[in-house]
Amino acid sequence: MSDTLETIKQQIGENAILLYMKGTPQLPQCGFSAQAVQALMACGERFAFVNILDNPDIRAELPKYASWPTFPQLWINGELVGGCDIIVEMYQNGELEPMIKDAAKAAETSSDS
């Protein structure tokens, strides 16, 4: 397995809430990443991110690994949730915030033990 795939698996495994995006939460480099960040920030929990523009290997490999061709990609507890449209839709219908809060709480509990 490639080092890049190992890195992706490690990132997903170590972060309960992880957003692969273009740019950073403070400075998104595309509108879709900006919308995803806004929805996540509105949930009120910290989340990890990977700027795929700084990581061309991950940008190339992640779509194959995830079977999801576009960015951003939100991963919660090791599961791909989806991209911008899904994130925004889940936020608007009230599904995203409880998922984010549960993942943050579980991660906090496991790091305390």
pLDDT single digits (tens) 93-109: 999 999 999 999 999 88
Question: Residue 94 contacts by C-beta under 8 Å, 6 or more apart in sequence?
Answer: none
* DSSP summary character for residue 26: S
Mean pLDDT, residues 10-39 taken together: 98
| pLDDT for residue 112 | 67
Q: Are 83 and 70 in contact (CB under 8 A)?
A: yes
Locate all alpha helices (DSSP H) within the chain, ordered by sequence. 3-14, 31-42, 56-66, 84-92, 96-112
Which residue ranges form the domains of the chain, and what is each CATH number?
Answer: 3-112 (3.40.30.10)
Pick from 3-17, 29-43, 98-112: least confident? 98-112
Query: Cα separation of 86 and 103, whole Å?
Result: 18
Q: Which residues is 73 bridged to in the sheet?
A: 20
